[in-house]
Structure 1
Amino acid sequence: MQGKPKIYFITGVSGSGKSTVGRLLAEQLHLDFRDGDDFHPEANIAKMAGGSPLNDQDRYGWLMRLNELAQTYSDKGVVIACSALREKYRQWLSTDISCPVCWVLLEGSETLLRERLRARKGHFMPVSLLQSQLNTLEVPDYGLKFPITLSPSEIVRRICNECP
């Protein structure tokens, strides 16, 4: 990693490639990678696996855990994959972080996202919840945005160039 430590949030709806891009970016920058899915409470996972979308109350504790995680990495930097669908979620995630935050949104067509979700094995998030995530998504007017038609390595290259 070059320069000051940063917190990189790789965001987007389910199936956008957050974990894949996040892992590659962390490897490239020699940072730890944390997948937001690993921090969901069991109740959230059960709710989503059962086909029900999460609401703000469900997400709040999870996002606060990720914010605490980011705060603990402020001195060395980290890459965190997290949907961060709404502006208030991004505000919660970035509260009291003492180093720069780089926001990355991975964007794709509903058709491509559905294809990716159908091909994914062993994940708790059903394809049926994609529409609720797309309906919830508030695209920020800041940060970096990349189409998921680019290869993960190309997205990582661009992140490194545009958010050094």
Structure 2
Amino acid sequence: MSVLNVQMPLLNGQEQDLSAYKGQVVLVVNTASECGFTYQYEGLEKLYGQYKDRGLVILGFPCNQFGYQEKGDNATIGAFCQKNYGVTFPMFAKIDVNGDLAAPLYKTLKKAAPGLLGTQSIKWNFTKFLINRDGKVVGRYAPTTKPEKLTADIEALL
């Protein structure tokens, strides 16, 4: 069963049916503009540019649950990503990834790919989930894993 059977609002407020990405390799990342890992936007954009024509899509989900490092509204987040990193991959409205208000997508992702020692909670910004063309989670990567380290796993799925 595909984890992409949900709708989520984009930064502009428009609802996006994630099932539209079925048939593509999807990398889901919770992001933040004021995090020590924010520089990873550059690597994510590079991956997207390198592989989007072969079927990779990266979905960014801003989150303010870790150190309050994503304080801005959706327009501010979009402007930051564009101005500082030239982000062209889809960015979604700010969400929660943990707790009772966690987005349904993240509840499903965490259950499908638990973290270290089986924990389901997201530990920090820039946790990454890799989803194959059938919508199945095939990998979970720590915030410290730089986007370029995912190249071999992505290529294996393309």
TM-score past 0.5 threshold? no
Instruction: Choose between structure 1 and 2: higher helix proportion.
Output: 1
The structure with the larger Rg is 1
User: Normalising by the residue count of structure 2, what TM-score does the alignment of the two structures yield?
Assistant: 0.32
Larger RCO (CA within 8 A; separation ≥ 6): 1
User: Normalising by the residue count of structure 1, what TM-score does the alignment of the two structures yield?
Assistant: 0.31
